[in-house]
Amino acid sequence: MKNIFVIGAGRSATTLIGYFLEHAQEQDWHLTVGDISAELCEKKISGHPRGRAIAFD
């Protein structure tokens, strides 16, 4: 299992987050996305079981 942490959930991270979530099951990845906006992180994760959203400043 690998834990991946993406800092920032802005426009440029959308494709990266999507890629990680798309391949998370087969690669045994767990993705955490952190941003100042918890709402934006949750939106990017979209309830994926291998994704977690956190807010930080």
Tens digits of per-residue pLDDT, 34-57? 999 999 999 999 999 999 999 988
Q: What is the pTM of this model?
A: 0.91
Other beta carbons within 10 Å of 1: 7
Rounded-to-integer distance, Cα 47 and Cα 24, Å:
13
Tens digits of per-residue pLDDT, 11-21? 999 999 999 99
DSSP run (H or E) holding 32: strand 29-35
Residue 39 identity (one-letter amino acid): E
